[in-house]
A and B are shown apart, each in its own frame.
Chain A
Amino acid sequence: MATASAPVKTNIIGLTKADYRGLESTLCNGCGHDSISARIIDACYDLGIRPEGLLKFSGIGCSSKSPAYFLSRSFAFNALHGRMPSVATGALVANHRLLSVGVSGDGDTGSIGIGQFKHLLRRNLRMVYIVENNGVYGLTKGQFSATADVGQELKYAGRNELLPIDLCLEAIASGCGFVARSFAGDPKQVTTLLKAALSHRGTALLDIISPCVTFNNKDDSTKSYAWGKAHDERINDFTYIPPQEEITVDYAPGESREVVLHDDSKIVLKKLDEKAHDPTDRMAAIRLLEEARDRQLFITGLIYVDTSRPNLAEHERLGDTPLTRLPEAKIRPPKETLLKIMGDMF
């Protein structure tokens, strides 16, 4: 009797999950970063994104190694420590038709790269900017990062006394139009946020708490799995609806509202109760983050959305053809123009 092998499952553009995979991870077993890589694979597969149409970027650090572990068919640029934003800016202005996912860490973004991070947001480059946030430097073996909470203790570094930098607050202050926080231990929320972020036409910041199992996973650490699971406080419940798909959510009529993204996809937010956070309210978003910081609450969800600002490519008035695809005839002006310019200089 012939055994019919199960048909290989493919997505809407006919690719298999394997077409989105990367190399085997070299990070520590159980590292939160690996689960985020898996979510990126899920989101891109589900959305039917062509891997060749997406660029991967990173800086330096454990998190910045991870682009090797997903989407091998996508070009990647592992840049300098804290300098991913500038490299991505040049690449994505030169070819603004490409999507991009950047992976950084709390040291890479919050310390050495805070300047480039803020200027990236100010320019509103189209990019999904993921911070795999664990509050600690892993590759150099356990120093505090700028997102470590007050009172956090580490084996070698001792106790942190300095206020953490809240990257979501920094992002809102810099004009970022898509700001979310999540937890690597919450695959559904991370995947949903990733899909929505990929539809956002500017910079989308995903600050994902991603525990470091080696240096910062003690139960009392605010960046540990145990803490995350016990304290994760969802500020809103939402579903991502891809473009052209019918809205099928089990929210009762009147219990939900929509935010339409640039590609006509939608984020459908469930109104949980009166206290549910409205992510279109900038002041409410800032207040929410300030309160969470004061009370050391671990809030997750979509914090802020604003689709109104033009992105960098629009600001630069770029045409349909990427700058990198323009033929010589369009980028070397004719000889007569040079003669005319020089004629004015005699």
Chain B
Amino acid sequence: MTITKVQSSAKAMPGAERAPVVNDFSISVATKNGSGSQTANTTLLRALFKMGVPVSGKNLFPSNIQGQPTWYTIRLNHESFIARRPRAEIVVALNLATALEDHQTVEPGGVFIYADDIKIPLNRGDLTYYPIPVKKIAAEHEADAKLRTYVANMVYVGALAHLLGIDLNDIEAALMYHFRGKRKPVDSNMRVVRAAAEWAAANLTKTDPYRVEKLDKTNGLMMIDGNTAAALGAIYGGVTFAAWYPITPATSLADALNEYLPQLRLDPETRTPTYSVIQAEDELAALGMVLGAGWTGARAMTSTSGPGISLMTEFVDLGYYAEIPAVIWDIQRLGPSTGLPTRVSQGDIIAAYWAGHGDSKHVCLLPGSVYECFEFGWRAFDLAERLQTPVFVLSDLDLGMNQWMSQPFDYPDQPMDRGKVLTAEDLDRLGGFQRYKDVDGDGIGWRTLPGAEHPLAAYFTRGTGHNERASYSERPDDWVRNMERLGRKFESARKLVPAPVEDRVPGADAAIISFGSADPAVEETRARLARQGIKASYLRLRALPLADSVKDFVAAHQRVYVVELNTDAQMLQFLRLHVPEHAARLIACNHSDGLPLTARWITDAILEKEG
């Protein structure tokens, strides 16, 4: 075996004498997709989480079913900084096709763990090398040849458990979670994990400094992906109708609806569903159905991604102009066109806000965590029904599909806001109504719901020009009055949407404005800047239209870096329009390469200007 050689090369390195690095490094596992590596990756992630160590896991996967390179990166950090890091200290290479590149990208002084049938020049003097007989261990401990490829991934989990000091009981607990308590698959996987750990104990001499130790930093936290959180939020928000069309990375949101609705939402008396979820023929039909349902009074939603937003655009506009509640989740991926469907971006900000032709603009919520995916999941329905308009929720692939630590979700703390709806009794009392009349001065009219048993309830819903009585009108004054009212309604929306979260540092000249899944990288950036003596305030946007308070925030700082994950600095454009008198203070800090932002990139970009 090559072990002797490897050990001697390890001894030649400074690794053995280095101070231990505990609970502060990244792991990158290179595999092929469709090989079962996800089970191993998420098991490792959850085991670390169960050890009390703050972690994040990001799946960097191809648009492919089977056989293409995929990487899973895990960051663990005792200070709870869990943004992606550009390089990993520990790289596990299980895919020959990418091994050369994987080898090159290990952080200097790091560790390269590889399947022993991968033959590449191991010529970096700064690394520690551990070859693992992956196939041999899998073959010895899994009799079923069909399962062997899948459980082979557990070999690296076992080896890492030994090398890093991960408790095998926590790995077993993670597997129990993954297989929902099914003993058989847990046992077969654990067999391989134990065998690999024992093999590593007997055959590898640890010379690297990286270690995991139990902590208490995840007490009370849970781990969940944003799409599941969004679906649960919608379910507790009373969703009664959902229509969707399969698209990465939004599909798992509809999957979660289909998983949890039957558990949670059968009528206790009749045992019939209190919901309907329809897989539509395309995204146009999905939003058409949602508008039809919202019009009759259902809490209706769809979930999609960029290309779906393009297809839905004509309907979004109809919803805006005919004033129909709808909730549209956009799990953003990298465009334009098909782009990179399995990579992340915040590239739909302009497309969503200004979706449609003519003069329309839309309310967009910007969840910055899985906690907010849940909260906005129910709150979006309240806003849509209050404002009688489509409401976007702009999540993204990183937030939606990856596992995140979170404080427990808070059950909705207020009753549902069903908005301004007139009943038959109201109509008796009022003697009629005008659908698009601004009775209350907030730009929001009163509506009746189809099926209302009253001769005066009906009105004609249309995308054509209409007056206050919902009658067709081509009169210029009717048009102007209606658009002015929609403008007032948008101002009402500005006050109703979730306010920005501000952290103003007294005396700070520099500030950051950001939103969505960029938040962890921004928080880490602030800590890095602080070490350089730069204090930066932070405002995290949570919705469009932009709040008035954003103006004060910009005015209070000399330089405001707008951090976002897209190529055209889309949010910066909106901010410049919102605060024109201070537009020169707003500095683009945007980047988009398909991967989640890193604190290192943001810090360098800001230091370049601050330095």
Measured CB to CB, the residues of A under 8 A from B are 19, 51-53, 55, 67-68, 72-80, 83, 85-95, 97-98, 115-116, 119, 316-326, 328, 330-333, 335, 337-339, 341-342, 344-346
Known contacts A52-B454, A78-B460, A323-B298: does B275 contact A335 (CB below 8 Å)? no
Known contacts A90-B288, A94-B292, A97-B451: does B409 contact A338 (CB below 8 Å)? yes
> Would you call A318 and B460 a contact (CB within 8 A)?
no
> Would you call A322 and B451 a contact (CB within 8 A)?
yes
Cβ–Cβ < 8 Å partners of B295 in chain A: 77, 87, 90-91
Cβ–Cβ < 8 Å partners of B464 in chain A: 78
Our pick among A79, A119, A323, A344 for the contact of B276 (Cβ within 8 Å) is A323
Name which residue of chain A comes closest to B177, CB basis: A344
Name which residue of chain A comes closest to B180, CB basis: A344
> Would you call A115 and B241 a contact (CB within 8 A)?
no
Range for the number of chain B residues in contact with chain A: 35 or more
Our pick among B275, B290, B314, B472 for the contact of A90 (Cβ within 8 Å) is B290
> Would you call A331 and B274 a contact (CB within 8 A)?
yes
Cα distance A174–B282 when bound, in Å? 17
Known contacts A78-B464, A90-B292: does B458 contact A52 (CB below 8 Å)? yes
Cβ–Cβ < 8 Å partners of A93 in chain B: 241, 276, 278, 289, 293
> Would you call B300 and A94 a contact (CB within 8 A)?
yes
Cβ–Cβ < 8 Å partners of B458 in chain A: 51-52, 72-76
Given contact pairs A53-B451, A83-B284, A324-B296, a sample of 12 additional A-B residue pairs in the complex whose CB atoms are under 8 Å apart = A76-B460, A77-B461, A86-B289, A94-B241, A94-B296, A95-B450, A95-B451, A316-B278, A324-B298, A325-B297, A330-B268, A333-B265
Our pick among A86, A97, A321 for the contact of B288 (Cβ within 8 Å) is A86
Cα distance A51–B460 when bound, in Å? 14
Which one of B109-117, B219-227, B337-345 contacts A?
A: B219-227
> Would you call A341 and B232 a contact (CB within 8 A)?
yes
Cα distance A95–B280 when bound, in Å? 18
Asked if B14 lies at the interface with its beta carbon under 8 angstroms from chain A, I say no
12 A–B contacts, CB within 8 A, in A order: A75-B457, A86-B243, A95-B297, A316-B278, A317-B273, A322-B296, A324-B449, A326-B274, A330-B268, A332-B238, A339-B408, A341-B260
Cα distance A80–B284 when bound, in Å? 10
Cβ–Cβ < 8 Å partners of B285 in chain A: 83, 85-86, 89, 115-116, 119
Known contacts A78-B463, A116-B288: does B449 contact A332 (CB below 8 Å)? no
Q: How far is the CB of A186 from chain B (nearest CB, A)?
A: 29
Cβ–Cβ < 8 Å partners of B293 in chain A: 90-91, 93-94, 323
Q: How far is the CB of B46 from chain A (nearest CB, A)?
A: 10
Asked if B359 lies at the interface with its beta carbon under 8 angstroms from chain A, I say no
Cβ–Cβ < 8 Å partners of B284 in chain A: 83, 86, 116
Cα distance A119–B450 when bound, in Å? 24
Cβ–Cβ < 8 Å partners of A78 in chain B: 460-464
> Would you call B243 and A90 a contact (CB within 8 A)?
yes
Question: Digit string of B242-285 for contact with A (CB within 8 Å is 1, else 0)?
Answer: 01000000000000000010001101101011111010111011
Our pick among B240, B275, B314, B460 for the contact of A68 (Cβ within 8 Å) is B460
Could you say which of B177, B243, B415, B462 has the most chain A C-beta atoms within 10 Å of its C-beta? Answer: B462
Known contacts A89-B278, A332-B412: does B318 contact A79 (CB below 8 Å)? yes
